[in-house]
Chains A and B, each alone.
Chain A
Amino acid sequence: MIDDFTYFDVLSRFSDIKIDVWQSPFDVVDKNGIFRLLHYHPTTKRRYRTPLLILYAFINRPYVLDLSPDISVVKKYLDAGFDLYMIDWGYPTRVDQYLRIDDYVNYIDKCVDYIRWVDNVNRVSLHGYCLGGDLSVIYTVLHQNKIRNLMLQASPIDFDTDNTLAIWARNLDVDKIVDTFRLAPGDFLNVGFLLVDPINLLVGKYHGMLEMLEEERFLKNFLRMEKWIFDAPAIPGETYRQYIKEWYQQNLLIKNEFVCNGTKIDLSKIEVPLLVIAATYDHIAPLESQKAILNVISSKDKDVYEYNKGHIGITTSRSSHKEYWPKVIKWLEERSRKA
């Protein structure tokens, strides 16, 4: 280990390391404003007739699921022979300030209909990550006849938890923020996420990087992660208002009182097979919040696979790709129609 570093020692290591994200090739098969539907090119012969649609959160970017060539959930699905789609919610600006959660759900429906038509199937499987899981749950309640399987990864369903982020959100004057900025700026959200745990996120992580300066593969993945963390899009004002008020402050989702497109979202109506992909040390969506859905749905086929990582680590750690994701994919394979 090196005792003392100079800026040159460290930065010179990064001066010629080029990184890329969005590893797997895809086609943009639909566009609606900032929203896009991506269709991934298969890496192997299609083995399952049921297509899979990944729904990411409207916070941060979905390429965390396809961050590096050797750590990619997307690639895992493609290698398993699934026909894979993903929605990219884009980078909202003030022009998109009036978008509501209903609009996200309606776009999901448009995409699901497109996939059903193109693939000539009745149902698709959904994999929702973080708040993308909440969108998946709402969508499933509204259009259950189009869904074969539902997978929720690190998705907060019960927002009445005592993690720092939830405490802050419950005390936030969201109207003031939205009425002034018309959206929740990405930097504003990012500072919030980092301030939740400043010592670990702003010192611990970089200390680890200094210890690994000679490992080029590590540095590349470190930079990919950095790119993703600080590549934070804004949230449209009206969506942010609903998210904070109706989910965090009023906790309407778990109470079956959240209204989307004029319909109350009654979680007990969900009957499709459900898998909760749970992160044990999740400081954004605590474990109890992720598991809460299991007690309120009517599905007979429901399970939880827990892994001892955090909100992001469950997706980006090498160990989870070795030990955990094969199990998740097996669960989906067993419940998908063969091609």
Chain B
Amino acid sequence: MVDDEEIQDRYKMLFDAYLHLQAETYEMIIRNVSIHNTLREVYESIVENPDIATEEIYDMLDKNFRDIYKNIFAMFFRPFEVATYPLTFFVKEQLGTLTPETLLNSYSGMFNAVGRSQIDIMKGFSDILKGYSNVVLKYETEDEAFSTRIKEFLPFNILRNMIDEGFENFFDVLSNFFGYLGESQFLIPKTFITNINNVFSTYSKIFGLWRRYELMFDHVWNRALKKFSEGIVENKDVDFEKFFNTFRSIYSEEYDDLLRSKEFIEVQNRLRDTLIDTIRYSEEAIYALLEMFPVLPFAPRREVDEIEKRVYDNKKVLDSVERRIAEIEEQIGFFSTIDEIDMLKKRINELEKKMLKEKT
């Protein structure tokens, strides 16, 4: 029996392990404990039923190995899953009931519901504010004309009038929106719209590519599963280590073939490139907005890039000048000076000889 204190100690130990292990190591240990236990469970079921047929083994593996598949590939799939989550969620939710008719109904219903709820909420606010301002102004005894003017400027009244006129204004704004887009000084620049348009166009491709990519892994998994179950039938008397090694070599071989195939590389490249495009267009859209913002406190990335490039270029010039100076110093220090000394020695010798001659 484990008491409360021991449970607390255990949690503390787990948390300590989490704190000082690499995040990836922690994740892979957790996943591999699960993989090991699943494999062990399957192995024991097979050992306990020596007469089990290939189809039964296949069914059992198929049922249990889905978790192993998820645990192995989770780290690779995560970025794509995160990126495609909104679309995946939408498709999964809608797929079961989606027909042209239900789609039309659901959209018109959604718009009606949203529209009606917005109108009700705003009317409600308007009534409350009208009532509130009436209560406040009921005690007004000042000059009537002054009072009327003041009323117009009371925050409640301004807000109330805005709400009463809100719907018309909203639709005015909407109908004028495309007009505004054409104005070059509008706060939403054209480059923003172009890039957002590109974001949507590339993002919509990711989902299809991601499905193709994952299906390739899935397909190989099933093929390896079949091979593995056939392999087990032929060698039921092996120990767990051999069982594991059979799993390892069959799956490893099958995935090696996939990962080197032209089809896989093409899909992988397209998926990665499309994701990168989406990121790039999103970045560009944000830069476009930032650049238009009149009190922008940050430099957009491309300006920082330019600064970095100039610093890099200047550093290169500085480095080459330093190296040139070092070379010249070396030449002077080790070669020219020695030569010069030799030459001077020669000249001194000659002069000494000359002097001796003159003396004699």
Contact = CB atoms under 8 A, between A and B. Distances in A.
Nearest to B79: A191
B315 to A, nearest CB: 8
B25 A200 contact: no
Contacts of A172: 269
Main secondary structure of the interface of A (DSSP, over half): helix
Nearest to B261: A167
A304 interface: no
B16 A6 contact: no
A30 interface: no
B312 A98 contact: yes
Given A6-B33, A18-B20, A191-B76, A198 B10 contact: no
A14 B37 contact: no
Nearest to B330: A113
A232 to B, nearest CB: 10
Counting chain A residues whose Cβ lies within 8 A of the other chain, the interface size class is 35 or more
Nearest to B21: A14
Interface centre among A176, A177, A198, A203 (most CB of B within 10 A): A203
Counting chain B residues whose Cβ lies within 8 A of the other chain, the interface size class is 35 or more
A95 B311 CA distance: 10
Interface stretch (B98-106, B163-171, B244-252): B244-252
B273 A173 contact: yes
Interface in A126-182: 164, 167-168, 171-173, 176-177, 179-182
A196 B10 CA distance: 36
Contacts of B260: 164, 167
A202 B21 contact: no
Contacts of B40: 3-4
Nearest to B239: A1
Given A203-B35, A210-B33, A210-B36, A11 B279 contact: no
Nearest to A167: B260
B14 A11 contact: yes
Interface string B304-346: 1100110010001001000100100000000000000000000
Contacts of A168: 265, 268
B37 to A, nearest CB: 5
A199 interface: yes
A113 B326 contact: yes
B72 A199 contact: yes
B158 interface: no
Nearest to B254: A199
Given A191-B75, A191-B76, A199-B72, A164 B256 contact: yes
A334 B240 CA distance: 49
B36 A198 contact: no
A10 B29 contact: yes
18 contacts: A9-B33, A10-B29, A11-B13, A11-B14, A11-B26, A94-B304, A103-B316, A109-B323, A113-B326, A164-B260, A167-B260, A176-B276, A182-B305, A203-B72, A206-B32, A209-B29, A223-B25, A227-B25
Given A168-B268, A206-B28, 9 more contacts: A1-B240, A97-B305, A98-B308, A98-B309, A171-B265, A179-B280, A180-B279, A200-B248, A230-B24
A-B pairs with the 10 shortest C-beta distances? A206-B32, A11-B17, A98-B312, A15-B16, A199-B252, A15-B13, A226-B25, A15-B17, A230-B24, A230-B22
